[in-house]
Structure 1
Amino acid sequence: MFDCAVDVRAYHDQDVTLPKSEQDAMRDRRDSNRRRLRNGLDKAGKPKPIEFVKQGSYAMKTMCRDPDNDYDIDDGVYFHKKDLVGDRGAEMTSLQARWMVRDAVDDGKFKRAPEVRSNCVRVFYEKGYHVDLPVYRRVVTDTVFGEEVHHELAASSGWKRSDARDVSDWYEDQRAASADGIQLRRINRDLKKYARSRYSWRGSILSGFGISVLTTEKFRANDREDRALYDTMVAIRDRLNWNLVVAHPVTPGDTITSGSDDAKARCFREKLTEAIDTLKPLFDADCTREKALNCWDKVFATTFFGERLEEEQRASVAAPAIIGSAALLSATAAAASAVSSAGGGRHA
């Protein structure tokens, strides 16, 4: 396979992963929402949250750069179950808890008001991104062995046993157990970027979480970044050829996909096959750097790789001129030094 490892890594670092400035901005938005929610709950005389827990791709650090700022920041808000009671003392339903959070976080300054969704409260921002606030309650149960604690999500179906930390902990365990946890995360981002590289795919392809699960399952570490990405693509595609079902990693019995012929998993499999086919020329004995980089451009629907080649070509043309100028300056300086040493200057 023609070696484009440096180029694939450069693409990840420059066009896939979020720059620090964007990460800082997301953290600021998260923190401002937390302050807004605390203030709103306090003003309304509602229960105070006991903690906030970041979750999803934001917590796993697998978010990808998006030209339309279509970012989903998940920040779970937790309450004590005993505090979540209505005006008449009855236990709050999951819907009531979500509405409580929605009303508290809405300070009237949003262009689009926050909305209650099936499993969270969504806060919208003008630039296109949004913050999701899943609502949890902490349940303490007395047993013969002492207190047992678990958490429940305010879901559309009612209070559902779940904890935002479970998925993040699972992902970190998978990275720690892999041959290269840092590279695994990069390949994970690359695959999510590929799945969102065409707007027409976005509603029909496997979710980012599903891609993360498959990446941890079939990751193929390699000293060459391009081989690691390619080999992982092939391994996932082959796995989906065998079975389209993707199990939820922390909820026994649950699946991320729907049924044995899930359309979104099938779509991801088809797109991986397209990418693998597009990269076939890289295995030809006469493959050139130009051909190889053109293939990677086609895979990610970008011009990044071709532009790198153009920059290299411009630099190679400019280099002889720069070297020549440097040599001329050096020769001139040497001649001037020789004249000065011989006492042949104008003021000798």
Structure 2
Amino acid sequence: MFDCAKDVRAYHDQDVTLPKSEQDAMRDRRNSNRTRLRKGLSDAGKPAPIEFVKQGSYAMKTMVRDADNDYDIDDGVYFRKEGLVGDRGAEMTALQARQMVRDAVDEGKFKRAPEVRSNCVRVFYEKGYHVDLPVYRRVTTSTVFGDESHYELAASSGWKRSDARDVSDWYEDERARSADGVQLRRINRDLKKYARSRYSWRGGILSGFGITVLTTERFRVSDREDRALYDTMVAIRDRLNWNLQVAHPVTPGDYITSGTDDAKARCFREKLTEAIDTLAPLFDADCTREKALKSWDKVFATTFFSERLEEEQRASVAAPAIIGSAALLSATAAAASAVSSAGGGRHA
């Protein structure tokens, strides 16, 4: 396979992963949203959250750049079960808890009002991104061994046992068990970027979480970044050829996909096959750097790779001129030095 390892790594670092400035901005949005929610709950005489827990790709650090700022920041808000009671003292339903959070976070200044969704409250921002607030309650029971606690999500089906931290912990465990947890996260981001590289694919392809699960399951480490990405693509495609179901990693019996012929998993498999076929020329004995980089451009629907080649070519053309100028200056300086050393000059 023609070596484009440095190019694939550069693409990740420059066009895939979020720059620090964007990460800082997301943290600021999250924190301002938390402040807004606390104030809204306090003003309404509602219970205060016991904690907030970042989750999803935001917590796992697998978010990728998006030209439309279509970022989903997940920030779980947790309450004590005892505090979630209605006006008449009855226990709040899952829907009532989500409505309470929606009302508290809506200060009336949003262009689009926050909405109650099936498993969260969504806060929209004009720039295109949104913050999702899943609502949890901590349930504490007394046993002969002492108090025991678990967490439940305010889901569309009611209160469902769940805790976002379990997913984040699972991902870190998978990275720790892998041959290279840092590279795994980079390849994870690359595959999510690929799945979002065409606007027409969105909505019809496997979710980012599904891609994350498959990446941890079939990751292929390599000392070459391009081989790691390619080999992982092939491994995932082959896995989906025999089984399109993707099980939830921490919730027994739950699946990220729907049924044995999930359309979104099938779509991801088809797109991986397209990418693998597009990269076939890199295995030809006569493959050139230009041909290889154009293939990677086609995979990610970008011009990043070809532009790197153009920059290299411009630099190679400029280099002889720079070297020539430097040599001329050096020769001129040497001649002047020689005359000076010999005591030369018309008035010596």
State the distance in 2 between where 1:90 and 1:171 align: 38
Aligned to 1:106: 106
Q: Aligned equivalents of 1:16 and 1:98: distance in 2?
A: 33
How far off is 1:345 after superposition? 4.6
Query: Counterparts of 1:176-195 in structure 2 under 5 Å?
Result: 176-195=176-195
Query: In 2 relative to 1, CA 347–186 (structure 1 residues): closer, same or farther, beyond 3 Å?
Result: farther
Alignment partners' CA distance in 2, 1:104 and 1:46:
9
Name the structure 2 match of 1:301: 301
Paired position in structure 1 for 2:132: 132
Tell me the equivalent position of 1:119: 119
**1:208 is the counterpart of 2:208:** yes
Q: Is 1:237 paired with 2:241? A: no
Q: Which residue of 1 aligns with 2:337?
A: 337
SS in 1 for 2:136: strand
Where does residue 32 of structure 2 map in the other structure? 32
3-state SS of 2:13 partner: helix
- Structure 2: 5+ residue stretches without partners: none
Per-residue Cα deviation, 1:66-98 (whole angstroms, up to 9, x for no partner): 000000000000000000000100000111111
The yes-or-no answer on 1:170 pairing with 2:170 is yes
Q: CA deviation digits over 1:175-198, x for unaligned, max 9?
A: 000000000000000000000000
Residue 311 of structure 1 aligns with an amino acid whose one-letter code is: E
Say whether 1:45 aligns with 2:56. no
- CA deviation string 1:267-303 (max 9, x = no partner): 0000000000000000000000000000000000000
- 1:11 Cα deviation after fit: 0.3
Aligned residue-pair number: 348
Verify: 1:271 aligned to 2:271, yes or no: yes
* Residue of structure 1 in register with 2:60 after alignment: 60
Q: Does 1:280 align with 2:274?
A: no
Please name the residue that 2:161 is paired with.
161
Unaligned runs of 5+ residues in structure 1 are: none
| Distance 1:346-1:159 versus aligned 2 partners, 3 A rule | farther
Query: After TM superposition, what 4+ stretches of structure 1 lie above 3 angstroms from structure 2?
Result: 345-348
* Cα pair distance change 1:347/1:123, threshold 3 Å: farther
Normalised to the residue count of structure 1, the TM-score between the two structures is: 0.99
Shift of 1:10: 0.2
CA RMSD, 1 decimal: 0.9
Which whole-Å deviations, capped at 9, do the CAs of 1:133-166 have from their partners, x for residues lacking one?
0000000011222211100000111001000100
Looking at structure 2, the residues matched to 188 and 38 of structure 1 have their Cα atoms a distance apart, in angstroms, of: 34
Q: Is residue 307 of structure 2 the alignment partner of residue 324 of structure 1?
A: no
- Cα drift, residue 100 of structure 1: 0.7
Q: Distance in 1 between matches of 2:337 and 2:154?
A: 82
Q: Give, as a single letter, the amino acid of the residue that structure 2 aligns with 1:68.
A: D
Residue 9 of structure 2 corresponds to 9
Moved more, 46-55 or 326-335: 326-335
C-alpha distance in 2, partners of 1:346/1:44? 96
Secondary structure, in 3 states, of the residue corresponding to 1:154?
strand
> 1 CA distance for matches of 2:337 and 2:115?
77
Which residue identity is paired with 1:224? R
Partner residue in 1 for 2:146: 146
Deviates more, 1:71-80 or 1:142-151: 142-151
Q: Cα offset for 1:344? A: 2.4
Aligned to 2:52, the other structure's residue is in SS state: strand
